[in-house]
Chain A
Amino acid sequence: MRNVTLAVAAIAVMVVTLTIVLISLITNATFANTISQITDKIDVSVFLQDSDTPAQTQQLISELKHLPNVKSLQYLTKAQALQQYEQQNAGNQQLQVAITETSNPLPATILIKPVNLNQIQDIKTFLTKPAIAALQSDQPSYSGDREVAINKITHATDVLRKIGIVTVVVFALICALIIFNTIQMAIFNRRDEISIQRLLGASTSYIRGPFVVESAIYGILSAVFSVLIVNSAFLASSGALQATSLGLLDINYANQYFDAHFWQFLALQLVLGIVLGAVSATIATRRYLKFKTK
């Protein structure tokens, strides 16, 4: 390769492209994990009337179980609700005293875990039916603040995914253009040799081969670089900053995810790099080697 500058440019842009791909994948997985963790904690609490009969309670539970968006539910009797409250507030003497002073003020409670947080509406609709509402001592709790957080993360993931796709496409195109240029220069530099090859009856693939191989090697180098860059970024963030999260992004998890899938990522990057290089080179040689006769 005689044109070192162009080759370095081609590799650099390819590294950027592949690094964006890698970061997008890790970010995506990390957000998915954060959402599923929060989703796991969120639940809808239905507070029953003390006057409800066991039959009514059973009826309500079985109806709730049949709602499609209900993943699982748990029934707490008044005693169990008190027990849980005491456990949750074990450190707070005042609250404990406040509760035991009177008779147990806590209602029997049904805890519902929804399948999909974004479609909690059907549960709400069911719970606000007059017949069902009559069985409740209070408004159901939807852990409202968590819902907002989840919406935020879902939205952020969505936006980031879109930005990621657009950026990857743009950089892949820039990358292909630079490879085109690199190969155009290489073909120009070797034009005498190529014309001799043609007159001696070299096949198209024989002439094209070295260019495709060269670009595929750029792809391999870029893949290795991109994985190294992401790896050292994680080393730096965990070592120097002691950071565990960056806003909504859970760096610890991202790091674990990257480590756990290191070889898959490396393989993926290699495949992407080789394909990006080889395809660009094939198109470029098709364009610039002009195998047709006039």
Chain B
Amino acid sequence: MILLDRVTKTYARDLGPALDRISLHVDPKEFVIVIGQSGAGKTTLLRLLTREERPTSGKIIIGGIDYDKLKDKDIPMLRRKIGVVFQDFKLLPNKNVFENVAYALEIVGVSNREIRHTVPKVLSIVNLKGKEKYMPLQLSGGEQQRVAIARAIVRQPRILIADEPTGNLDPKHAWDVIKVLERINRYGTTVLLTTHNQEIVNKLKRRVVTIRDGKITSDRANAGYNRA
């Protein structure tokens, strides 16, 4: 499903590589947590997957798509297959909850009828039923993040990438968000989550990949948070 083979990303020559010959394989429907200090290379890794960056060297294949052969004009099609959630939510402040989620469908030309049918279902998955008319700023951080998740999954992507989705949230709301991610994973979506929240990692008991100075230093199943 996700395959990285000796991927290196260097932003500038005089700086060291942000990612240094990283190899990673993620099976379909897996739930993988990527941990590491700020600047370790987590975000670079995710930006390579969404093709916001190109690797300096190495091979990336996701869902059968070889990134070497991907043309710029095909990037939109790729991104429609990957859902992305950010630490800062990236909701549109002048659209309400329903419209924000519907936006992801409008962009790809889904009919209004189907939008009216699909969006409420997805909002109930993220436990936001009844908040359709709220504007993002009227919601708590946890709720806003769940709107962002709803937007990311409304097109039923096979992969959901969540970059520190709980970074700005208090523990209770963070846990709400994680529970939603787990539910989505149960429905069959591969989830790639970066975090440095120890408690979440320890509670989840999932595969944990640790990145340090651009290298993968450990990759263990059912693991807890390990600083070493």
A residues at B contact (CB < 8 Å): 192-193, 195-204, 206, 291-294
Contacts and interface: CB of A to CB of B under 8 A. Distances in A.
A203 B79 contact: no
B107 A200 contact: yes
Contact of A199 (B73, B90, B108): B90
A293 B80 contact: no
Contact of A293 (B75, B108, B151): B75
Interface stretch (B46-54, B130-138, B177-185): B46-54
A204 B107 contact: no
B73 A193 contact: no
Contact of B103 (A200, A291, A292, A293): A200
A201 B106 CA distance: 11
Given A199-B50, A199-B90, A206-B107, 5 more contacts: A200-B80, A204-B73, A204-B76, A293-B75, A294-B53
Given A200-B103, A201-B107, A293 B52 contact: yes
- Chain B CB within 10 Å — which of A197, A204, A292, A293 has the most? A293
A206 B54 CA distance: 23
A199 B79 contact: yes
Nearest to B105: A200
B84 A199 contact: yes
Interface centre among A196, A201, A202, A294 (most CB of B within 10 A): A201
Contacts of B92: 192-193, 196
A294 B50 CA distance: 12
Prevailing SS type, chain B contact patch: helix
Interface string B95-112: 000000001100110000
A293 B47 CA distance: 11
A204 B54 CA distance: 19
A198 B90 contact: no
Nearest to B93: A192
A199 B151 CA distance: 11
Nearest to A292: B72
B72 A291 contact: yes
A7 to B, nearest CB: 20
* Chain B interface residue number, banded: 20 to 34
A292 B52 CA distance: 9
B15 interface: no
Interface centre among A196, A200, A293, by most B CB within 10 Å?
A200
B8 to A, nearest CB: 14
Contacts of A206: 107
A294 B77 CA distance: 18
A200 B100 CA distance: 11
B90 A203 contact: no
B80 A201 contact: yes
B78 A201 contact: yes
A294 B72 CA distance: 11
Nearest to B81: A201
Contacts of B76: 198, 201-204
B151 A200 contact: yes
A44 B73 CA distance: 70
A197 B84 CA distance: 12
A292 B72 CA distance: 6
B80 A192 contact: no
B33 to A, nearest CB: 22
Contacts of A198: 76, 79
Nearest to A206: B107
Nearest to B53: A294
A14 B84 CA distance: 42
13 contacts: A193-B92, A196-B90, A199-B90, A200-B107, A200-B151, A201-B77, A201-B79, A202-B107, A202-B108, A203-B76, A291-B73, A293-B51, A294-B53
A286 B75 CA distance: 16
B107 A293 contact: no
Contacts of A292: 72
B50 A197 contact: no
Contacts of B72: 291-293
Contacts of B103: 200
A201 B79 CA distance: 5
Interface in B30-87: 50-54, 72-73, 75-80, 84
